[in-house]
A and B are shown apart, each in its own frame.
Chain A
Amino acid sequence: MALGRVGAGRFATSAVAWLAYLIMLAPIGAIVWLSLFDSDIIAIPPPGYSLRSYQSMFASGNFIASFRLSLVVAVGATVISLALGTLASIAIVRGKFPGSDILASVFLAPLAVPGIVLGLAIYIFFFKVGAAIGIRIAGTMTSLILAHVVLTLPWTIRFTSAGLTTIDKNLEDAAMTLGAPPLRTFWHVTFPLMRASLVAAAVFAFLTSYNALEMSLFLVGPGMTTVPIVLLQRVSWNFDPSVAAMATVQVAISAVALIILTRLVGAERIFGGQRSS
């Protein structure tokens, strides 16, 4: 009797799961659909389908260059953010000091600020500081990466602290009782156990940085541009199927990279925390 209800429950959750995946992936399907329009404008329904938007995509030289910059910035920001985030999460998870809870919430704060506001604020501040001390800060690669670090820190801190909390402190204590100094304990005991959450943190940080639009708008220097900016420009001035083609290609490449990464590390462990089995 109970199993019958369980069966119904199983069916219901499966149905909802299908719905969830449909909702999540529908826009991507739509983008691929748009990219195949045989038309100079996006007007639905299209007169026909063809691959010509993919051909015209390469006419814009910007796209390749933007891809490179987006990648460099995302990787740089992710690495720095991971380092800082891990340190910070050790502090708030393992450390007991007054205000550690408040600090944990403060670390989430960058998410609450709309991208355009944060980008503008950082730009103006960096520029004013740069002007005051005579070095150009705003518009440099450093300022761009720094801004992306701010954007990605909430994610790295969140994932690494989630990973840290699931690691039994006793393991670390045991190691230290056996004579290992704290740093070595961290490197040889904690770090390997955290590896999965570190990868999760890295993935989310990377995606956040890669997608950052408004933040980058203000902080890219002349001659530099990122993928979201190029896509935005095309969407604003003249949204045609080549934009959809660019988006599709970019998703395809990133998807391949993501699949390779998760194959290497084992996605089932990435987001799952610790399983004793």
Chain B
Amino acid sequence: MTCSMIRRTGATLRMGFVAFVTLSGFAFHIGAAAAQQVTVSMVGGTYGDVVEASIVKPLEVAKLKVTSAIEPHPVRLTKLVTERGQPGSYDVVQFPDYFMYQANAYGLLQELDSSRIKAWNGIEPAFRRPYDVPHIFSAAVIVYDPARVSPAPTSFAVFWDPKYKGRVGALDFMFPQWLWMASTQVGNTTNHDFDKGWEKLKALKDAGLQTFPTQEALDSAMKSGEVWLSLNYRARAVQLAKAGMSVKTVVPKEGAWPVSFSFAIPMNAQHKDAAYTFLNAVLAPQAQLAAAEKIYYAPVVAGTKLPPELESLVDFTPDEVKRFVNVDFAYVAKNTPAWQQRWEEQIK
């Protein structure tokens, strides 16, 4: 072989190598580009901040481009409804459970392939649904000021205790929870027949129940000592306690109405693979821990390691979880308009 032939072979090989790398790089780029972006719609505020820090950032480090759309839940639901049948703007949507149920009932969500969700079997069964992946949960429990309410309550009956007349506060938007809770006081142990509770509620109203339009209004009332007892999310109560207020929570013997926030994939999502990547990140240990630390909601993945002090504050024991009401969202959705009007007229 002459030197020139060797040189030419080397040159050809080099060119071929460069071509191969370039082509494969190009192919990789195309393939990767399709999986490289996801659009997530969720609520903002501190919840959005936690998701950004504990879910979005790690994903971006792993080269997934996440675009966040921040909007209130009704707006997101409207957009999903309007976009039905067209390529969707969103690949992942976040909702509280009652909205997520509606979205699914309207046929807007995909049924999830659970084999693609790594932590699927670790999800607390109470919050495992075929159409969404939960992120965090809490429950509406008795929130009380231990300095003024003694002994610690064990039942919702404490709201009717004459000792605390006029010291009970209710959040307006929690009317379904209050109605259910009142119905347990006349013996209702099912997840239906909440209407049985109206009389008890009326009696409570006559005994001086105060209602508040926002969390802040109720917070102020509890801080000033106007209100000693309320029904509120444990997560919120922990936040108040961390801010220095004297509050404690208890899941009474009748149980509690849980609330969870979850993520789902719309029917018309355009980047389904990336969506699954996002959903898996939601259940990752760091995301679960961050939510507990920053916004005091309990992790949905069993066995998430929380610092003991935090765990005792925000989490729920298996026994407490067993006592949760198994909310029938269809029943609640059907009756909400009538309940809401009656609440406005009689209780508010």
Contacts and interface: CB of A to CB of B under 8 A. Distances in A.
A–B direct touch, CB within 8 Å, in complex? yes
Interface stretch (B47-55, B306-314, B338-346): B47-55
A121 to B, nearest CB: 11
Contact of B216 (A42, A60, A124, A139): A42
Given A61-B52, A237-B47, A229 B82 contact: no
A8 to B, nearest CB: 43
B50 to A, nearest CB: 11
A62 B72 CA distance: 15
Interface residues of B, number: 38
A87 B179 CA distance: 58
Interface in A31-82: 39-45, 47, 59-62
B78 interface: yes
Nearest to B68: A223
A222 B245 contact: no
A204 interface: no
Most buried by B among A40, A62, A229, A237: A237
A120 interface: yes
B220 A40 contact: no
B70 A233 contact: yes
Interface residues of A, number: 36
A161 interface: no
Contact of B72 (A44, A59, A236): A236
Nearest to B91: A222
Most chain A CB inside 10 Å of its own CB: which residue of B41, B68, B222: B68
A40 B90 CA distance: 33
A222 B46 CA distance: 19
A107 interface: no
A39 B219 CA distance: 13
Interface stretch (B152-160, B236-244, B320-328): B236-244
Contacts of B75: 217-218
A222 B216 CA distance: 29
Interface string B32-49: 000000010101111111
Interface string B65-76: 001111110010
A221 B83 contact: no
Contacts of B68: 222-223
Given A222-B90, A237-B43, A217 B72 contact: yes
B317 interface: no
Given A221-B69, A233-B45, A236-B45, A131 B89 contact: no
A222 B67 contact: yes
Nearest to B48: A233
A233 B49 CA distance: 11
B223 interface: yes
A230 B216 CA distance: 18
Nearest to A240: B46
Contacts of B9: none
B4 interface: no
B69 to A, nearest CB: 4
A234 to B, nearest CB: 5
Nearest to A233: B44
B86 interface: yes
A238 B242 CA distance: 14
A225 B52 CA distance: 15
Interface string B5-18: 00000000000000
A131 B86 contact: yes
B48 to A, nearest CB: 7
B209 to A, nearest CB: 21
Contacts of B43: 233, 236-237
Contact of B44 (A40, A131, A230, A239): A230
Contacts of A138: 82
Contacts of B224: 43-45
B148 interface: no
Interface in A193-220: 217-218, 220
A119 B69 CA distance: 17
A201 to B, nearest CB: 30
Residue among B41, B44, B245 with the most chain A CB within 10 A? B44
A232 interface: yes
Given A40-B239, A237-B45, A225 B79 contact: no
Contacts of A221: 69, 89
A13 B224 CA distance: 40
Contacts of B242: 40
A28 B160 CA distance: 41
Interface in A70-126: 120, 123-124
A194 B297 CA distance: 59
B216 A123 contact: no
A104 to B, nearest CB: 33
B214 interface: yes
Kindly name the residue among A61, A138, A217, A232 whose own CB sees the greatest number of chain B CB atoms within 10 A: A217
A66 B247 CA distance: 36
A123 B45 contact: no
A191 interface: no
A232 to B, nearest CB: 7
11 contacts: A40-B239, A43-B216, A43-B224, A62-B70, A123-B82, A221-B89, A222-B89, A230-B70, A233-B48, A234-B45, A238-B215
8 cross-chain pairs, A with B, having the tightest CB-CB distances, nearest first: A237-B45, A233-B44, A222-B69, A43-B223, A40-B243, A223-B67, A222-B39, A41-B243
Interface of B: 39, 41, 43-49, 52, 67-72, 75, 78-79, 82-83, 86, 89-90, 214-216, 219-220, 222-224, 239-240, 242-245
Interface of A: 39-45, 47, 59-62, 120, 123-124, 127-128, 131, 138-139, 217-218, 220-223, 225, 229-230, 232-234, 236-239
